[in-house]
Amino acid sequence: KRLILVGPPGSGKGTQSPIIKDEYCLCHLATGDMLRAAVAAKTPLGVKAKEAMDKGELVSDDLVVGIIDEALKKPSCQKGFILDGFPRTVVQAQKLDEMLEKRGAKVDKVLNFAIDDAVLEERITGRWIHPSSGRTYHTKFAPPKVPGVDDVTGEPLIQRKDDTAAVLKSRLEAFHRQTEPVIDYYNKKSIVANLPAEKPPQEVTAEVKKAISS
């Protein structure tokens, strides 16, 4: 299956994607994770992306389309994939369609993590992540066994630089202005499944599985 996860910051995309990945054996491409890795490694791409990311604005379409175009060539992505955080503009969605057309493929389903903005600040400011695995915790909703420490590796957890209430505001603005039109784009193709993303994680997982198999 070729799946897209779309939703505002904190809606649960990154929490659900490893579960879907394990279940359906897909390749998982998260542009946010890839960009953060590039920033940390100070690659030319990371240097270009950093300023926009710190402000909670979108990185340029050319930059992220380039990353995805490259990543989709991986053998593990030929049978199917989960895109988390891409496409985020209508231009990106159109470019993705072009890329897939060339490969004789198309997007099967768009999972829309629908949720009220008001819930997101608490989710974002309480988030802790284990950078190398992508495992995500929350001080209140999904606490690690030992505070500040990854359950599996015992390594320290970190908070994302853009996970402040102030930067969340711009990220939400970008979502409503630039990414909601992407949902309309796919609605016209009748491939959107709306998920109740405010429910507890296990219930969201069940809804995700239902949507994928339908």
Amino acid at 23: E
Contacts of 157 (CB under 8 A, 6+ apart): 128, 129, 130, 137, 144, 148, 149, 150
Which structure tokens are listed for 115? 């949720």
Which of 58/212 has CB closer to ligand AP5? 58
CA separation for the pair 54, 163 (Å, rounded): 10
171 is catalytic: yes
Interface positions, 135-174, toward Zn ion (CB under 5 A): none
CA-wise closest residue to 186 among 98, 87, 113: 87
Interface positions, 169-208, toward Zn ion (CB under 5 A): 176, 180
CB 27 within 8 A of CB 77: yes
Assess 9 for contact with ligand AP5 (CB under 6 A).
yes
Query: Residue 200 Cβ, how far from Zn ion at the closest point, in Å?
Result: 18
Q: Of the ranges 86-94, 96-104, 182-190, 206-214, which one interacts with ligand AP5 (CB under 6 A)?
A: 86-94
Query: Residue 2 Cβ, how far from ligand AP5 at the closest point, in Å?
Result: 16
- Residue 130's φ and ψ, nearest 5 degrees, are -100, 105
Using CB under 6 A, pick the residue from 94, 125, 136, 194 that binds ligand AP5.
136
Contacts of 23 (CB under 8 A, 6+ apart): 209
CB 153 within 8 A of CB 133: yes
Assess 9 for contact with Zn ion (CB under 5 A).
no
Contacts with Zn ion by CB under 5 A: the residue count is 3
Assess 31 for contact with ligand AP5 (CB under 6 A).
yes
Assess 141 for contact with ligand AP5 (CB under 6 A).
yes
21 is catalytic: no
123 is catalytic: no
Q: Which does 123 bind (CB under 5 to 8 A by kind): Zn ion, ligand AP5, none?
A: ligand AP5
Give strand ranges (E) for 45-178: 81-84, 109-114, 127-130, 135-138
Assess 52 for contact with ligand AP5 (CB under 6 A).
yes
Catalytic residue among 2, 13, 36, 95: 13
| Residues noted as catalytic | 13, 88, 127, 160, 171
